[in-house]
Chains A and B, each alone.
Chain A
């Protein structure tokens, strides 16, 4: 629970020494309460008071880092339950699962398949960031360590699904430098697992038969000094897993219960049981609601295309519009003689218009320039989609590459026609339809 300035003031020395840079202790307290200053900036604060305050002012959900180098990911740190309340910050990461129960050919095939899905969408690299390596109860430590080593060869950050301390040790011996997650602490083994995770310096995953057991185990681990945790919310079935994911997150953010203030793991392998369509449905649900690591049986393009699109959308900051890169997008096999069509760089506009242009089948040079990521009328009103900005971009980037001199502009900015004709001599400026849905008919009748 955030403290008020008055509550913080009571803990200060009240000396008004000005060493923190504020005229009075009260002013300092108000700034701490608003987040502008940190409590440590007061040199006279007692350690007790600092501990009490940092506990009280800490964010409701911890930010946990896993992996290292290019494979380092930040999980958690959320402050709201719905994106419109502010924004979500740490997008869920997808893991493909391997298991000691798989034969070698299956493992090799999976490892060969994972790197195949790796593409870019609106400036973001889309791939399975993680590999989950599960240890069956009857597999020995050497078998498991060998599989972990093989998986580590792929260079993706690993999650070790193992609850036997000796097997966990053997696996960490071959991969701990890459900072994997050790997912296997529970009510019966947490002391041993805690020691292993701490020694290796890795994040520890906690599971249990229900939320009460998980809650107690997390509390015991915190008491033992480990706050580098992830909660595996996977339950017996789909319904209990969804309930766990929501209740853990809600307890942390809405009810300020910090024991549950950790990111989550959802293991769909246990829930979808080989039904790939159901797995996509579940992955979508947990991408929307509160999965931090989502473990899947596979991630082919069929799964990746919707899921990464959904994730990219849900995790955009509502205060910052999604933009596409300026440039000339060649559609339907366009060449330098094909018609030029332009609109703004707002991702939603781009996708709608792009879809209709593709549907028309007409070859088109689709030109996007920087319009501040706003819609057509908004960017026009803001002066970011104007005769000057369009003509400058056309002269600098389009004229050297495209010989066609016909430009279609959105119907909503028909008013720009005259200005553009003056600024782009030799070009024929055509006013397009007001709505994207009318584009197909418009282009076909041209």
Chain B
């Protein structure tokens, strides 16, 4: 008696969102099955991998990543180099230098960097804020304005500043809105509800439901994404059918497994291997839990995760 394989069919699907313009534009989402379950239903769009650079340029990179950008000097050079690595689907620019508690770069200075990067590459762009909600409310609307027509994803829209960012990115300048919540299905849904109540088209919203590095409370990430996909597909909850994008790198490169030097932890071995493996492991787990796109920093991680996605497509 052969095995009776019962497919799990859902009468709902995740929204398909297009980011970027022209030949290089990408689509994310569109699935009507759990991640990588192509045996249940055809998966129309594969998950996408982005490479992240920051306004801090070369100095802000860990040494092992900087080596890959040899010869780049301006932000434009760095962006072009980043776009050239194997497996890169989109470019993410993290503006963490805007944080008033950090480098506190001015909005004008950051917008100049955004423009330089945007001019250097034709890949789809994702722009992330500095984590400070007031600064982001001032900075990100300017980003949306500066990149009008490029159909970019403007991240870091939070409950505290959704009016400023959601209205500018989603309404005034017709970009994609990246709604960010903190690892909780109810918060994620709530933000989608209020964002769409502003008048933003739900089909032009992507969620960042938060992540952690593996080992750092990652069980919340798994269960949040499992439950979001379960509700989106199983209960046809259209306020949770936005695709999920996960900035992995900003979580993983800061933990001690990825940053402690070999001199401090000789038995742990080379820091570069540890950094890549933390990033790769977290990204793979994010994808298996339900992320439709991940943002990474190390070119080797991008290549590996891209191969993983191809192998499972």
Q: Which residues of A contact B (CB under 8 A)?
A: 82-84, 116, 121, 211-212, 214-216, 219, 237-239, 242-243, 246-247, 250-251, 254-255, 257, 259-260, 275, 277-278, 280-285, 287-289, 300-303, 305-310, 312-314, 316, 318, 322, 347-348, 351-352, 355, 358-359, 437-438, 441
B42 CB within 8 Å of chain A: no
3 smallest CB-CB distances across A and B, nearest first, come from A309-B215, A306-B281, A348-B217
Annotate B3-47 by CB proximity to A: 1 below 8 A, 0 otherwise: 111101000000000000000000000000000111100000000
Residue of B nearest to A121 (CB): B215
Residue of B nearest to A211 (CB): B3
Residues of B within 8 Å of A438, CB to CB, are 101
* Interface core residue of A84, A219, A275, A355 (most chain B CB under 10 Å): A84
* Interface core residue of B131, B255, B277, B280 (most chain A CB under 10 Å): B277
Beyond A281-B281, A301-B274, whether A83 also contacts B223 by CB under 8 A is: yes
Residues of A within 8 Å of B277, CB to CB, are 277, 280, 302-303, 305-306
B78 CB within 8 Å of chain A: no
Would you call B227 and A84 a contact (CB within 8 A)? yes
Interface of A is mostly: helix
Would you call B288 and A289 a contact (CB within 8 A)? yes
Known A281-B304, A300-B269, A306-B214; further 18 A-B contacts with Cβ < 8 A? A82-B230, A238-B312, A239-B38, A251-B4, A275-B307, A280-B277, A281-B305, A285-B287, A288-B285, A300-B273, A309-B214, A312-B215, A314-B222, A348-B220, A351-B216, A351-B217, A437-B131, A438-B101
Beyond A238-B312, A260-B3, whether A314 also contacts B218 by CB under 8 A is: yes
Annotate B257-285 by CB proximity to A: 1 below 8 A, 0 otherwise: 10000000001111001101110111111
In angstroms, Cα B283 to Cα A239, docked, is 18
In angstroms, Cα B308 to Cα A239, docked, is 10
Beyond A284-B281, A305-B278, A351-B217, whether A83 also contacts B101 by CB under 8 A is: no
Would you call A237 and B304 a contact (CB within 8 A)? no
In angstroms, Cα B3 to Cα A255, docked, is 12
In angstroms, Cα B37 to Cα A390, docked, is 50
Residue of A nearest to B2 (CB): A212
In angstroms, Cα B6 to Cα A246, docked, is 12
Annotate B300-313 by CB proximity to A: 1 below 8 A, 0 otherwise: 11001101100111
In angstroms, Cα B126 to Cα A39, docked, is 61
In angstroms, Cα B280 to Cα A239, docked, is 18
Would you call A285 and B307 a contact (CB within 8 A)? no
B256 CB within 8 Å of chain A: yes
Q: Which residues of B contact A (CB under 8 A)?
A: 1-6, 8, 36-39, 101, 131, 213-220, 222-223, 226-227, 230, 254-257, 267-270, 273-274, 276-278, 280-285, 287-289, 300-301, 304-305, 307-308, 311-313
Residues of B within 8 Å of A211, CB to CB, are 3, 5
Would you call B288 and A288 a contact (CB within 8 A)? yes
* Interface core residue of B2, B220, B311 (most chain A CB under 10 Å): B311
Would you call A302 and B36 a contact (CB within 8 A)? no
Residues of A within 8 Å of B215, CB to CB, are 121, 305-306, 308-310, 312-313, 351
Would you call A313 and B217 a contact (CB within 8 A)? yes
Residues of B within 8 Å of A83, CB to CB, are 219, 222-223, 226
In angstroms, Cα B36 to Cα A247, docked, is 12
Partner of B284, one of A251, A284, A303: A284
Q: List 10 A-B contacts (CB under 8 A).
A: A82-B227, A83-B222, A84-B223, A116-B267, A254-B8, A280-B281, A282-B284, A309-B216, A310-B215, A438-B101
Residue of A nearest to B219 (CB): A313
Residue of A nearest to B102 (CB): A441
Beyond A246-B37, A281-B283, whether A355 also contacts B218 by CB under 8 A is: no
Nearest-Cβ distance from residue A424 to partner chain B, whole angstroms: 30
Nearest-Cβ distance from residue A156 to partner chain B, whole angstroms: 19
In angstroms, Cα B221 to Cα A316, docked, is 13
Nearest-Cβ distance from residue A235 to partner chain B, whole angstroms: 12
Residues of A within 8 Å of B301, CB to CB, are 277
In angstroms, Cα B283 to Cα A432, docked, is 33
Would you call A277 and B219 a contact (CB within 8 A)? no
Nearest-Cβ distance from residue B70 to partner chain A, whole angstroms: 21
Residues of A within 8 Å of B267, CB to CB, are 116, 301
Would you call A307 and B311 a contact (CB within 8 A)? no
Residues of A within 8 Å of B101, CB to CB, are 438, 441
In angstroms, Cα B289 to Cα A386, docked, is 38
Residues of B within 8 Å of A289, CB to CB, are 288
Residues of B within 8 Å of A246, CB to CB, are 37, 39
Would you call B308 and A313 a contact (CB within 8 A)? no
Would you call B307 and A278 a contact (CB within 8 A)? yes
Beyond A277-B277, A309-B215, A355-B254, whether A318 also contacts B3 by CB under 8 A is: no
Residues of B within 8 Å of A259, CB to CB, are 3
In angstroms, Cα B282 to Cα A242, docked, is 18
Would you call B268 and A301 a contact (CB within 8 A)? yes
Nearest-Cβ distance from residue B200 to partner chain A, whole angstroms: 28
Nearest-Cβ distance from residue A6 to partner chain B, whole angstroms: 27
Would you call A247 and B5 a contact (CB within 8 A)? yes
In angstroms, Cα B268 to Cα A300, docked, is 8
Would you call A255 and B6 a contact (CB within 8 A)? yes
